[in-house]
Amino acid sequence: MLKILFIADVIGSPGREALRARLPGLKRGTGAHFTIVNAENSAGGFGVTREAAADLFASGADVLTGGNHLWDRKDSIAYIAEEPRLVRPANLPAGTPGHGTLVFRAADGTSIGVVNLLGRVFMKEADCPFRTADAAVESLRSQGVRVIVVDFHAETTAEKVAMGWHLDGRVSAVIGTHTHVQTADERVLPQGTACVSDAGMTGGFESVIGMDRGAALRRFLTLMPERLTPAEGDLRVNAVLVTVDPSTGRAAAIERIQLPHRSVSAGTVKLLTGDQPALSVRYAARAEVERLIAGGVMPTLALVSVGEDPASQIYLKKKSAACAEAGIAIRRVALAAGADTRAVVERVRALGADPDVHGILVQLPLGPQVNAQAVLESIPPARDVDGFHPENVGRLGLGLPCLMPCTPRGILELLRYHQVPLAGKHAVVLGRSPIVGRPLATLLSLKGLDCTVTIGHSASGPALRALAREADLLIAAIGRPEFVTGDWVKSGATVVDVGIHRVPDPTRRGGSRITGDVEFESVAAVAGALSPVPGGVGPMTVAMVVANTVLAAERQAGGVRV
Ligand code: NAP
């Protein structure tokens, strides 16, 4: 399906700043093939200039649309006449510079007709927008263009809704602009035209429709003319995403987007850092280890791996170092790349039968030649410090004592340490892997933690973002860099970023940086609390390897804890 992103009226340099920062992530997150930006207020709040337009194109706009303010800058008329990626209102007298209807090609190759129209109710004179729309649609259809988007720049809701019905089945979308307040009436009409009365605005929201609120108020109170300037505070991007079948031009869905950029409360997000709670867990484990050693038990963890996967080597090194720091003995079993299921299972069974080994951790992945499930099932459940054995999985589901998987256990400890309330909260867990998402969702829903849990996954589709926005606690464990952006997050929500990725970044020494499944900046602008990457969940996972090994050793030594 074709995804068309429409960015609502960009107001001056604050709006352009928000767009520059947020549009690349928004395009990535939505998978947009084509981006239309309403630019009629993009230069100082009135009109468009060559420089403002260049900024918008550099941010990722494919085409700019206009409105009644497009002509506010007399020095830009020549630019409007010559810019082939700018569509000005079509219902203006013949001879007006520029083009009111143009055809573009989206990233997937689909031809898209873009039409810009002015309303006539409470607006300056213009030709009939309905009849102009008919002519534009007829002309585009005669050129074989099936996907058509109309930016209807109008004052009244009635005129915009009427245009939607007038064009239903003949265009893909009628998107209202001009009033700068996003309306909640988005829908796909029966014949397949997506409509919204107003897409909103991109700019400062501590304002009167994008302009400095002090000056705007004085104008109302005194009726004296006063110059308006674009507002700076609480920058946001408003947009709509339309999903269209490119073979018919019919819209399948329309979604409103509100993406925060610089909030008034930016910088107040609480960081759920993992270093301190991880240290506490390791410190407590060390005291237990000393007690066990004093009782004649040397807690020992066997770390099993196959081959030389570089990421696995890093994780093994971190786990070994943390265990050694706590006084746990390490038995390193490194099998050559290519070792088959039987060879790995035999080694694990031998470790399982060794009375001196208390914990066994098999570092995944093992390679395509190994049946990883068979290997995990060959670990005695009492020594399964990763908590992946079906017996531990089943006990976890029943809320019985067991060895829990390290990452979910670490996340619970992270939330406990930072005093994040859970009972009665709505938790949305993105990801359902047996390592992170599924056990965490199970744990959060158990009696005692008492969250109401929703699980999202790759088949959840576009509805997932709206579900995520309902979360008090949002867990991102999907394995996709910076997938979750600010528009996925309810204001004040707690967000836990489980993902860990190395992504290219030419601005950094070494040409790369570590990031999570969450786009830090935009989410930090809206969330109440957020776990950073690195330094959030990662240290907790490692600490829980230590804690689980101690727990397994205590149980096997007939210790106090069950
Ligand atoms: P995984 O086994 O690849 O599972 C990913 C899950 O995300 C799957 O359930 C998948 O759905 C879902 N998913 C993928 N794309 C999606 C999309 N576009 N929309 C919604 N859901 C989507 O990964 P994992 O082992 O759970 O790990 C997740 C991330 O956490 C990775 O980045 C991993 O490196 C990281 N991790 C970090 C730690 C740590 O200590 N910090 C520990 C473990 C993992 P389907 O089930 O439908 O395929």
Mean pLDDT of 191-202: 98
Closest ligand 1 atom, residue 540 Cα? 40
Q: How would residue 561 be classed by pLDDT, with cut points 50, 70 and 90?
A: very low
According to DSSP, residue 403 is labeled P
* Rounded Cα distance, 30 and 562, in Å: 47
Give the separation between CA 472 and CA 456, rounded to whole angstroms.
15
* Mean pLDDT of all residues in 304-312: 93
* Catalytic pick among 3, 160, 319, 490: 319
Residue 411 has pLDDT above 50, yes or no: yes
Gap from CA of 314 to ligand 1 centroid (Å) = 19
| Distance between Cα 478 and ligand 1 center (Å) | 3
Q: Report whether 494 contacts 272 (CB < 8 A).
A: yes
Chain position carrying tokens 């309330």: 421
* CA atoms of 437 and 434, how far apart (whole Å): 7
Q: Which of 457, 480, 514 is the best mutation target for the ligand 1 pocket, counting ligand atoms within 8 Å of the beta carbon and taking the most?
A: 457
* 182 is a catalytic site residue: no
Nearest-atom index, ligand 1, CA of 438: 9
* Residue 477 pLDDT greater than 70, yes or no: yes
pLDDT of residue 267: 54
Residue 405 is given by DSSP the state: P
266 pLDDT tier (thresholds 50, 70, 90): very low
In the chain, the domains with their CATH numbers are 2-201+233-261 (3.60.21.10), 298-379 (3.40.50.10860), 406-541 (3.40.50.720)
Query: Of the given ranges (50-54, 69-73, 104-108, 533-537), which has the lowest mean pLDDT?
Result: 69-73
Residues with CB under 6 Å of ligand 1 are 407, 430-433, 435-437, 456-460, 464, 477-480, 498-501, 537-538, 541
Percent pLDDT > 90 in the chain is 84
Token readout for 477 is 């464990």
pLDDT reading at 65 higher than 50: yes
Q: In the predicted model, is pLDDT for residue 107 greater than 80?
A: yes
Rounded to whole angstroms, how far apart are CA atoms 526 and 28? Answer: 19
Does the predicted model carry a pTM greater than 0.75? no
264 pLDDT more than 70: no
Average confidence (pLDDT) over 234-254 = 95
| For residue 407, pLDDT beyond 80 | yes
Of the ranges 52-56, 213-217, 554-558, which one carries the lowest mean pLDDT score?
213-217
Question: Residue 507 pLDDT more than 90?
Answer: no
**Identified catalytic residue from 9, 55, 384, 386:** 386
Which pLDDT score, from 0 to 100, does residue 212 have? 87
Ligand 1 centroid distance, CA of 113 (Å): 38
Is 319 among the catalytic positions?
yes
Mean of pLDDT values over 264-287: 85
Q: Which residues pair with 111 in a beta bridge?
A: 105
The pLDDT tens digits for 508-540 are 878 899 999 999 988 998 899 999 999 999 999
Distance of CA 538 from the midpoint of ligand 1 (Å): 14
Dump pLDDT digits (tens) for 166-187: 999 999 999 999 999 999 999 9
Rounded Cα–Cα distance for residues 60 and 47 (Å): 19
Q: Please report the DSSP string for 164-191 in residue order.
A: HHHHBTTBSEEEEESS-S--S--EE-TT
Reported as type and span, the H/E element at residue 280 is: helix 275-294
Assess whether pLDDT exceeds 90 at residue 206: no
Mutation test residue for ligand 1: of 275, 318, 458, 502, the one with most atoms within 8 Å of CB: 458
Q: Virtual CA dihedral for 85, 91, 94, 100, nearest 10 degrees? A: 10
pLDDT digits (tens, 9 = 90+) for 378-393: 999 999 999 999 999 9
pLDDT at position 262: 66
Model confidence band, residue 263 (pLDDT cutoffs 50, 70, 90): low
Q: CA 190 to CA 76: how far, in whole Å? A: 41
- Averaged pLDDT of the chain: 94
The lowest-confidence range among 120-124, 180-184, 425-429 is: 120-124
Q: What is the pLDDT of residue 417?
A: 93
Q: pLDDT, tens digit, for every residue of 39-51?
A: 999 998 889 999 9
Nearest CA to ligand 1 atom 35: 499
DSSP for 304-339, written as a single string: EEES--HHHHHHHHHHHHHHHHHT-EEEEEEEPTT-
What per-residue confidence (pLDDT) applies to 226? 81
Q: Is the pLDDT of residue 265 over 80?
A: no
313 in active site: no
pLDDT of residue 560: 44
Give me the pLDDT at residue 163, please.
98
Nearest partner of 553 among 375, 279, 301, judged by Cα? 301
Q: What does the alpha-carbon distance between residue 161 and residue 478 come to, in Å, rounded to a whole number? A: 39
Atom of ligand 1 nearest to the CA of 459: 47
Residue with CA nearest ligand 1 atom 4: 433
Residue located nearest, by CA, to atom 30 of ligand 1: 499
